[in-house]
Amino acid sequence: MTTISERGAELRRLHVAPELLQVVNVWDAISARAVAALPETRALATASHSIAASLGYEDGENIPLAEMLDMVRRIVEATDLPVSADLEAGYGNAGDTIRRAIGVGAVGANLEDQMKPFDDAVRAVREAVAAAEAEGVPFALNARTDAFLRDTLPDAEQKTEEAIRRGRAFLDEGATCVFVPGKLDEATVQRLVGGLGERRLSVIAVPGSLSPARLAELGVARVSYGPWTQRVALTSLQLLATELYAGGALPEGTRVLN
């Protein structure tokens, strides 16, 4: 197995490499193994929403941190690939949460600002970066701003401006890249890349989003899929159950991945 420092250095490299980093989000050990087995997979990222749902919790730090980190540990132990953990807003103490995530093997993290006051959001990023540095592990902090997810700003123009303002501050504090989730059109992605720099923007893909190929052309660093990977899996399960109840059979070609 590679060391945690080697995995951390690789994750940092993947964020600045010329190729777009695609991370297909996972939520437990078996989903991690299934995705990690593909030769195209270079790193894994957890989805906090999906982990919470799999354990019966609502999204939004309702799952106890210890349970979240235990699942991150299981995912880390299921693969030799670098793992980035979705740690929501840091559970009230961004620095300590990052330290504990590194303790279970994570070498990257999402940290969301929830559109808290600007200084508070910047302070959380500063504390997260300092915690990783104190642990002596190369760490990829994907600092997230929720400018497009919350109704604190009236229009897309102001959301974009605020995302850039916060993102620049996060980068100045040592974040690896800036995560701006939302269904972003091409013009908005271009503006964000222009404001933050090439290979500094991380986005989420949702139904109807720009293709990975176009995101790469626009200079995006990373694309993830959040809870949508679990939703696709659950949709397939529910459709299968409907088919079986109607007298159908298990589909041919099913892979034995567990």
What would the pLDDT profile of 82-108 be if each residue is shown by its tens digit?
999 999 999 999 999 999 999 999 999
* Contact indicator for 43, 84 with CB cutoff of 8 Å: yes
Residue 125: how many other CB atoms lie within 10 Å: 25
Q: What is the pLDDT of residue 147?
A: 97
Residue 206 has a pLDDT of: 96
**Residue 64 near residue 93 (C-beta atoms within 8 A):** no
Angle at 110 between CA 50 and CA 157, to 5 degrees: 105
Spatial distance between the Cα atoms of 209 and 183, rounded to a whole number of angstroms:
6
In terms of Cα–Cα distance, which of 207, 223, 229, 180 is closest to 51?
229
Average pLDDT score over residue span 56-78 = 98
Element (H, E) at 258: none
Q: Find where tokens 């993947």 sit.
A: 14
List pLDDT tens digits, range 156-209: 999 999 999 999 999 999 999 999 999 999 999 999 999 999 999 999 999 999
Scan for tokens 């790193």, then name that residue.
43
| Strand duo 177-179 + 44-45: pairing | unpaired
pLDDT at 127: 98
Crossing angle between the packed helical segments 94-103 and 118-135, to the nearest 10 degrees: 30
Determine what percent of the chain is predicted with pLDDT higher than 70. Answer: 100
Of 151 and 104, the one with more pLDDT: 104
Total length of the chain: 258
The reported pLDDT for the residue numbered 1 is: 54
Q: What is the pLDDT of residue 151?
A: 81
Query: What Rg value do the Cα atoms of the chain yield, rounded?
Result: 18
What is this structure's pTM? 0.95
Domains observed in the chain: 4-227 (3.20.20.60)
